[in-house]
Amino acid sequence: MKYDLKNKFCLITGAAGLLGHEHARAILEINGNVILTDLNNRKILQLQKKLKNEFKDKKIFIYFMDVTKIKSIQKVSKNLKKKKIHVDVLINNAAIDSKVNEKNNLLKKNKFENISLKTWNKEINVGLTGSMLCSQVFGSLMKKKGGVILNIASDLSVISPKQSLYGNNKKKPITYSVIKHGLIGLTKYLATYWPTKKIRCNALSPGGVMNKQGKKFLSKLKSEIPMKRLAYQNEYKSAIQFLCSDASSYMTGHNLIIDGGRSIW
């Protein structure tokens, strides 16, 4: 079966985040095993427990891993090697997403004129540099058996944020756009760097996801989407299964945009 990941392991960064747990379910549903990594020990432990109850016969490992530190990534890699576990699929999902809603005015932090170098470096390091470092470490190991690297981008990897959606004096930060556009560049680079090693690299660019946003913001954003709604949290699982399995065996360097049609306007 093209969608079968039997005996294969998928490492997910930022697994405790909003979509991280759905990515894990997507892999487990097609017979794969998962390695969940994050900096939030409490949430990742809760996720492991929940997934073990749902998928009793699957291997679900968790690791505290800082994607901005090469030694932290290498430590996980060495530990997996001792367990004789090969990472067949890497999902670069870790990111810092500055939330802008009706209750928190992030004007001083997010406005381009005011963004600090400290904030810029921190967010770029997690969302973009972290993906590069994880691809460097685990991608280098994939050269022996082949594998898949999937970068989680955004519809804002191909369009600019419409700042009027967020209300007066509220801005989506420049770091988010730079990171997501940068991930597409990373995807294309890796797709052409390791093709003879049977390593494929693609990106998934999801649109906005329902997550208790304010009514005014939701109303504005829905008007920008042809399908007139945001995605449900589980609506990207099939795309994850496609991109991480042999169902997409002839696809590499591609950015799969699933945004309800927002980016076509």
Q: Residues 165-180: pLDDT tens digits?
A: 987 777 899 999 999 9
Q: How many domains does the chain have?
A: 1
Is residue 180 flagged as an active site residue? yes
Whether 4 is in a domain gets the answer no
Whether 13 is in a domain gets the answer yes
Q: Which of 101-105, 181-185, 198-202 has the lowest mean pLDDT?
A: 101-105
CB 157 within 8 A of CB 203: yes
Choose, from 170, 171, 172, 180, the residue flagged as catalytic.
Answer: 180
Query: What pLDDT, on a 0 to 100 scale, did the predictor assign at position 98?
Result: 67
Mean pLDDT score across all residues of the chain: 94
For the chain, percent of residues with pLDDT exceeding 70:
95
Whether 3 is in a domain gets the answer no
- We report the CATH number of the domain holding residue 59 as 3.40.50.720
Whether 179 is in a domain gets the answer yes
Statement: residue 246 has pLDDT above 80: yes
Taking residues 107-120, report their average pLDDT.
Answer: 84
Taking residues 3-23, report their average pLDDT.
Answer: 96
Amino acid present at 248? S
Statement: residue 108 has pLDDT above 60: no
Q: What is the pLDDT of residues 84-95, one digit of tens each?
A: 999 999 999 999
* Cross-strand pairs, 10: 34, 89
Residue 73 belongs to domain spanning: 9-264
